[in-house]
Amino acid sequence: MAGSRHLAIVLVVLSLCACGSSSTAPQVYPDLSGTWSGNLTVSITLTGAPTFGIVCLHQWTISSSAGGQITGTWQSSPDLSLANPTSACQQSGSLTGTISPSGAISVSFNTVILGATCSSVAGNDAVSGSLFLQMVTASGQDAIRCPTISNEPRTLTLSVSKLQ
């Protein structure tokens, strides 16, 4: 009888230990590899002037998104369907960033978009947003210094969808 009692206590203790344990599943990151295409809008408000924006066609080619680390290239070009397309959109370079398992994304570009003669003061063309149903929407703010613009804040807003 005493042996049965000890066995019952051991089983209860083991079952309690099993209930409190948890196994950690590996995190699964979205795969962003491939080509993404959409629009990038850069808005700037100069002191004493109304806000103006430039819309560009924007494309990413993501070469790797392993472990949540994003690397690839980007390219912007004028949107010729607009009444006043701008050649300032014609730029390209590399991009880096991160994506979380939940789809939160942060991306930085390697140059000052729409400012070939400008330098970054803050933000360096960084945007943050989310991935939902093969579409990334993101925005960010930065500040640039150009020959005719001194430390002016800009807003960057983009929306890109994965091409099949």
- What pTM, to 2 d.p., does this model score? 0.76
Looking at CATH, the fold of the domain delimited by 34-162 is given as Lipocalin (2.40.128)
Q: What's the pLDDT tens digit per position in 34-68?
A: 999 999 988 887 777 788 888 889 999 999 989 99
The ranges of the chain with pLDDT < 70 are: 1-23, 114-116
Instruction: Give me the residue spans of the domains in the chain.
Output: 34-162
Residue type, 55: V
Compute φ and ψ for 82, nearest 5 degrees: -85, 155
